[in-house]
Structures are given as C-alpha cells and as structure tokens.
Amino acid sequence: MQTLEFKDKLTSYSAWRNHLVATVKMYHDWRKRYNLDNPHTSNTISQILESLSNDRVTLAFVAEFSRGKTELINSLFFSETGVKLLPSSPGRTTMCPTEIFFDPDGSSYIRLLDIETRYEETSFADLKQDLTRWKKIRLDTSDPAQMQEAFKELIAIKTVPREKAQEMGLFNEREAAELGIIDPETVDIPVWRHAMISFPHPLLKAGLCILDTPGLNALGSEPELTLSMLPSTQAIIFVLAADTGVTKSDMNIWMHHVLSTSNANKQGLAVVLNKIDAMWDDFNGEVGYDQSIRSQVSKTAAVLGIPDTLIFPVSAKQALIAKLKQDDLLLNHSRIGPLEHYLSENILNQRQKILLEAVLRDIGFLLKESFTLTEINYNKHNKQLEEFRKLDFENKEAMQKLTRAAVLQEKAYIKNLDQFKESRELFRGKLSDLMTALDPVRFDNAIITHKIQIDRSLTTHGMRQGIKKLFEDFHGLLGHCIEKADDAKTFILGMQAQFNTEYGLTELKPSVFEIRNYLAELEELLIMGEEFRTSAKTIMTEKNLVTRKLFSTMISQARKVISKTYVDAAKWGENVLSSIAHQLIDQKKQIENRLVILRSTGESKMKLNENMAKLEAELAELKIQRRELNIIIQNMQKAAVV
C-alpha cells in the first residue's frame, strides 16, 4: 500500500471521527432542546467532544542509534516533499525526542527545549504549556533548503565536562568503556532535550502525529517519555538493523520501554528490520537474499518472543530513493508495502475501535437511558390520549370515579417522591463518604511525607525504596476508597430495585462506579515505574537526577489518575439517580394531565376540547422528540460499524 493509500485511509478515519463528533453534538442539542440536560451530563458530553476534537493517531518510532529510524520516517511519510526532510545522513542522527504534528493554528515551526531543563523537576507536560521556555524556528514550507537547514538543529550537539553529562544521565562509564572510551574529560551531548515540529503535511493535517525517540540514552534517562508519552501512543514501531539483528542495547529497549508498554495498553506493535539492502550478496542472488531475510525474521521473532507476522523487513533507504525518483521497481524491492498496509489497516482500525469504545462507554448509558425514558413517556402519553378519546364524558358518575382514582394516584406519587428524596439524601451521605476517601488532598499528604524522606535520602537505593513505600500507602488509601465505593454501589442498586418493584417504575439498570479500574491503572503505572527503575540503564546511573525525575513523573501520573477518579466518582454520583428522577417527573405530568382533563368535564365543552387539543399537541411533540432521538441512535450505530 502506497503512502497515498495510507493518506486515504487516514482521511477516511478523520471523516468517521467528524461524523462521530456531529452525532454527539446532535445528541447534546437534543437534550438541551427538550430540557433533559443538566450541568453534570453536559460536562460529560463536552469532555467527550473535546477528546474527539483533540484526537490524534500517534505512532512512536523507537530504536537505538544508527538503525535508520529517521530515514524510515522520511520514506513512510515525507517523500512527497521531494527531499530528505528529517536529517538522516550517516553518523548524524536525531539526538532528542521529536514530536511531528500539524498545529491547527496553521503555522509551521520547530520548537526546541534546552537540555539544561533536565536539571529541573518540572514535569514535561508543564514545560509544554510554557512556550517561553522553548526556542522557536519558523519553517518556510515553500523553501526545502531552509527547512533542511532548520532541521539540522535536531542533531545539534555540544561538548560538556564528563561530570555534567553524568549528572544529566547522558553518560555512563561502563557503556563508554564497552566502546573503548576510558575516562574522558569531556562528552558530547544533545543541545536540545525535546523538539516539537508543526508541519502542514496532508497526513499530519488528517490527524497523524509522529513521536521519534532517539535510543536508549534518551529512553533510559527520561522517565516521562517511558511512563507517559509512549503509553499514550496508538502504536510503537520498533526499528532494528537487519544486518546486526537484536543487540544488547536493542533488547534493553525492547524489554523495558516497548514490550511492557505495548502489552499494558493494548497498543499496536510493529518491529521493522531495516537495512535489508545490506544483506544483499551478488553471489547468492535473489533466492539467497530472500532466504537470508526470512532467516533473520525468524531469529528476531524467536529472540523477541513475538509472531513473525509482526516483523517487517524493509530498506527505508531504497524506499525513500524510489519514492523521490518515482521508481516502482525499486519501491517494490524495498519491501515497504506490507508495513504501510499494516499501519493503514491494523493500526488505524484498532485506534478507531478504541476511540469508539471510549465514546460508547461514556455516552452509551445516557443514550440508552434517553431512549428508554422517551419510549416510556411516549407510550404512556399515547395510551392516555387513546383512553380519553374513548371515554363517555357525559357520564358524570364514571367521571367522578375516575377523578377519585386520579387523586389517589396523585397521593401515591407524593409518597413516592418523599421516599425518593429520603433515599437520595441517604445516597448523598454515602457519596460524601466516598468523595472524602477519594479527596486528592489525602494522597497529596502522603506524597509530601514521602517526598521529604526521598529528598533527604543520600542514596539512589533509598530514593527507590521511598517511591515503593509511597505506592504502598496509595494502595492502602485506595483500599479504603474501594470499601466506600462498594457501599455506595450496593445502596444504589438496592434503591433502584425498590423503586422498580414497589413504585411501578420501569427497570433501568443504573450505571455503577467501578473504582477497581482506576486502581488497576495505578498498579500499571507502578509496574512500569518499577521496570524503568530496575532497567540496566537506570541502575548504572551514578547520580540520582534520573531517580528524582522518575519520582516526579510517577507522582504526576498518579495525581492524574487520582484526580480523574475523584472527578468521575462525583460525576457518577450526580447522574446515577437521573433515570428515577425523570420517571417521577413524567409520572407527575401524566397524573396532572389526567386530572386536568377529568376536572374540565365539569366545565364547558370548549374547555374540554382545549385540554384535549393541548394533550394531542404534547403527543405530537413527543413523537418528534422520539423520531429525532432514533435518528441520532441510527447515526451512532453507523459510526459503530468499524
């Protein structure tokens, strides 16, 4: 599959996402139009819309130095520029993690973050928000030479004393010794810590984002990259060199920064065996070439423990030259087609399913509740109107009897309402207990206590132990939260069942708040953090800067999980009683309509006809409301066919 076809697939995905956004907006407008909205539901839908609008398909390219990763990115996505857009000449490689995307503002630029910021404990997410910390270089998209010159900043290096490089986690004596570098006075390090590139390429405009990570040096010393940025991507493309196979450093990246991340988050995964052109042997010819490639694929699959269907042998160099020269024969020889097909069909389809699942999880209950309540209201209203049309309004005795029955219904409704208010207050008490248990301040207190101990620690080992104890405290706090969440859930299920059986309301299974999902997310973070800190690279870091950054990153991520748990619990508590409340409102309206009609039989015939006409008008409006909702549901069902 050619890049143009990948673009078509991504454009199709973008159109599908836009359809989903339009459907959610239509549903939100429907709720507002019929006075069914409330601040909490509105906030839920707004968050869904914001998430959809900001959605990007992010592919992370991960590799050790000199694996041809940047050339692969050029060949896959940027051959249309007519030049090698990203610098990828021999011996010159991308030195800092780089994000490539399209800024909706339309401007083209490179933003660069100084390497010295590694001394700070400020999270990278916060640094991203502070644009004053970044150097900005504007790109002239009409001038390829200017862009190529600007992109050279990505490979900029500077010379610093060895001690300074060690402090930042950018030099390790043991690794250097393996390369024959013994006790150097100075070390070359990247000038920039991170780069963000906005470029108006069609694929980027359609929602593609590329994360280019430069080797174990960056991955092993930037915890936020491993614990936050990589897990949030839709796919990881791990690049190896076909002529060397899986080296020790490749395996370190695979075990500590790729495998656990992709498994934990169900990401797409592809392993690229690049530089297959180096395996060509004139004596063996095409047959021997194919056999060598198949053998290397099998060996790589065995070492990594994955199916060989996830391994793609390619020559990024041949692919890029072929695309620049429009040479179809060379493009076919590069074998890049299967990789492009996999990215288009597997990765994009998987992202579409994940995004749809997230939307349906958040909005599915609301839609189901709206449909059920609308059907109940319409059917009851229609039945009541049909009943009135058949009544003999001249029979005063029958009318009086029906009026007395309606009055009794009204009294029963008032009793139901009192019971609802009483139960609601009891539930609010249980919800308050849950919110108190989930209060982020309680977790922040634990963070503060352990941070003091960690800051006082003189050894990296002591710091790592402090992190472990902090998460043990988190588990204890969340265990208390589980008790309160289970108590609230049990109460709400019992309350719903009582109103279904004793008060004649239609059974609508309430949503439940599953706090254990959040606990699992925190546990996953701890596991990834543990893997990071026990990786060979981290253990060999003599100074504790990386460990302090690991602590800051894990705390930042943990706070996000806890804050989300708190917000979602509050949102659930406010919305969970809505089905009962709506049914009681509709029940009240039905009783009031009945009494108005029956009492008007004692007045003029004109008054009776006016009330009947009003009832018919209400039914007509309910019919429109019902039809509109069915259209919304049909649109959502179309979006669900992925």
Q: Is pLDDT at 132 greater than 80 in this prediction? A: yes
Write out pLDDT tens, residues 477-527: 888 888 898 998 889 888 878 777 665 566 566 777 888 888 888 877 877
End-to-end CA, the chain:
20
Write out pLDDT tens, residues 315-355: 999 998 888 888 999 999 999 999 988 888 888 888 888 88
Q: Is pLDDT at 215 greater than 50 in this prediction? A: yes
Q: Is pLDDT at 32 greater than 60 in this prediction? A: yes
Summarize the confidence of residues 22-32 as an average pLDDT.
94
- pLDDT at position 56: 85
- pLDDT at position 211: 92
Label residue 372 by pLDDT band (50, 70, 90): confident
What is the percentage of the chain residues whose pLDDT exceeds 90?
A: 22
The type of residue at 487 is D
Q: Is pLDDT at 91 greater than 60 in this prediction? A: no
Write out pLDDT tens, residues 400-453: 788 888 888 788 888 888 888 888 899 999 999 999 998 988 888 888 887 777
Label residue 110 by pLDDT band (50, 70, 90): very high
CA dihedral sign, ordered 540, 261, 197, 317? positive
- pLDDT at position 232: 83
Summarize the confidence of residues 48-77 as an average pLDDT.
87
- pLDDT at position 265: 53
Q: Is pLDDT at 610 greater than 90 in this prediction? A: no
Instruction: Find where tokens 């006809």 sit.
Output: 609
Lowest mean pLDDT among 32-46, 205-219, 589-603: 589-603
- pLDDT at position 505: 61
Pairing of strands 57-63, 235-241: parallel
Query: Which residue ranges make up each domain of the chain?
Result: 394-600
Residue 427 neighbours by CB distance under 10 Å: 17
- The length of the chain is 642
Q: Is pLDDT at 638 greater than 70 in this prediction? A: yes
Q: Is pLDDT at 540 greater than 50 in this prediction? A: no
Q: How far is CA 183 from the centre of its chain?
A: 45
- pLDDT at position 283: 78
Label residue 604 by pLDDT band (50, 70, 90): low
Cβ pair 399, 597 in contact under 8 A: no
Cα dihedral angle (467, 472, 474, 480), rounded to 10 degrees? -170
Summarize the confidence of residues 132-143 as an average pLDDT.
91
Q: Is pLDDT at 389 greater than 50 in this prediction? A: yes
- pLDDT at position 430: 92
| Sequence-separated contacts (24+) of 474-480 with Cβ below 8 Å | 474/443, 474/446, 474/522, 474/558, 475/519, 475/522, 477/437, 477/442, 477/443, 477/446, 478/515, 478/518, 478/519, 478/522, 480/437
Could you tell me the CA-to-CA distances from 510 to 369, 500, 572 in Å, in that order? 9, 12, 10
Label residue 82 by pLDDT band (50, 70, 90): low
- H or E, element range at 101: strand 98-101
- pLDDT at position 31: 92
Q: Report the range out of 110-114, 228-232, 322-326, 413-417 with the highest average pLDDT.
A: 110-114
- pLDDT at position 358: 81
Summarize the confidence of residues 45-56 as an average pLDDT.
87
29/469: higher pLDDT: 29
608/296: higher pLDDT: 296
Question: Which residues is 63 bridged to in the sheet?
Answer: 214, 239
Q: Is pLDDT at 83 greater than 70 in this prediction? A: no
Summarize the confidence of residues 604-620 as an average pLDDT.
80
Label residue 286 by pLDDT band (50, 70, 90): confident
Closest CA to 553 of 488, 486, 467, 442: 467
- pLDDT at position 630: 94
Label residue 1 by pLDDT band (50, 70, 90): very low
Q: Report the range out of 69-78, 307-316, 538-547 with the highest average pLDDT.
A: 307-316
Is residue 177 classed exposed, middle or buried when 0-12, 13-18 and 19+ CB atoms within 10 A define those classes? exposed
What is the percentage of the chain residues whose pLDDT exceeds 70?
A: 89
Summarize the confidence of residues 285-301 as an average pLDDT.
91
Cβ pair 619, 381 in contact under 8 A: yes
Could you tell me the CA-to-CA distances from 228 to 62, 201, 345, 393, 404 in Å, in that order? 15, 26, 26, 71, 66
What is the average pLDDT value for the chain, to the nearest integer? 82
Pairing of strands 157-161, 268-274: unpaired
- H or E, element range at 114: strand 109-114
Q: Is pLDDT at 543 greater than 50 in this prediction? A: no
The type of residue at 523 is E
Summarize the confidence of residues 614-632 as an average pLDDT.
91
